[in-house]
Amino acid sequence: MNRVIIDTDIGSDIDDAMAIALALRSPELKLEGITTVYGDTHLRARMVSKMLKLANRTDIPVFAGLNDPLLRNRPIWMAGHEGVGLIEPAEELTYDSRHAIDFIIDTVMNNPGEITLIPIGPLTNIAASLIREPRIAQHVKEIVLMGGVTRLGDNGTDMRIAEHNIVCDPEAASVVFNSGAPIVMVGLDVTLKVQITEQERRQLLQSNDPLNLKLADMMKHWFDFVQEQHTFMHDPLTVSLLLDRSLVTTKNMHVQIEYDHRPKTGQTLATLAEPTNVAVCLDVDADRMVSMLMSRLLKGS
């Protein structure tokens, strides 16, 4: 069984919530805790607590982390609909009072080689943990993160050159990528191939499962926000690698973060230079991944 901590910026795109739901419906994973990062982390912690309540998994602790980027030098982006479709404004939802960074450090250091970190938001909490306790890099089992883009897969140069989670805090990303920890990078090269549509949303509705119904509501708000009837499963794909690593093809590469102090900079440059520091995902069996995601969510209903 894989012991994991998910670090999430749940609330804007639907993919964080879908990733957490996938983890909750996967008996191969032991969720040691869920931490929140970036923006209003207390609102995000309340959202996670509501998901756990709907899934009857209130045994899993939730911790709020850092609101601001590491250097507090970049604006926070939030869509404005965080929590809509999931929680009521005055709904009483509690979570652990300890700080996310304390929890991450204590859990990894007390369980050497046992804990996998799954950051699916900006890397601020993970970087701050590594700064406070650099030995995390040697004690963590691995870091499987959603972030970055190399433009080296067959999506090629049609994709953007920088990715949201890295752009939000490139200084934190630089700390993590240079830490020496074993890292798997699940970037846009593969995540943009994994889509769900209104068809999957209707399947969630038809299940009548309380958690799935809320996921469907949140998906509707996101579809309206982006004015599309499909969305990408960036974060569920990241979680899925703890269930079936054969879903992706990886290549060991050297990744560094290129940025300056202007907003919207933070490129993940991947080369074959030695030493390699990241297993970079370059291809994915998208159909098999979506099938696994939906079967887990619907089977659990």
Q: Which active-site residues does the annotation give?
A: 234
Sign of CA dihedral 231, 234, 239, 243: positive
DSSP H or E stretch at residue 99: none
If you ran DSSP here, which 8-state letter would residue 185 be given? Answer: E
**Contact (Cβ atoms closer than 8 angstroms) between residue 37 and residue 150:** no
In angstroms, rounded to a whole number, what is the distance separating the alpha carbons of residues 178 and 168?
18
| Bridge partners, residue 252, by sequence | 279
Measure CA of the first residue to CA of the last residue in the chain; give whole Å.
22
Residue 277 CB contacts under 8 Å (≥ 6 apart), including other chains = 177, 178, 180, 183, 253, 254, 255
In angstroms, rounded to a whole number, what is the distance separating the alpha carbons of residues 62 and 25?
17
In angstroms, rounded to a whole number, what is the distance separating the alpha carbons of residues 252 and 273?
10
**What residue type is 206 in one-letter code?**
Q
In angstroms, rounded to a whole number, what is the distance separating the alpha carbons of residues 177 and 193?
24
**Contact (Cβ atoms closer than 8 angstroms) between residue 112 and residue 140:** no
In angstroms, rounded to a whole number, what is the distance separating the alpha carbons of residues 149 and 78?
21
**DSSP 3-state of 165:** helix
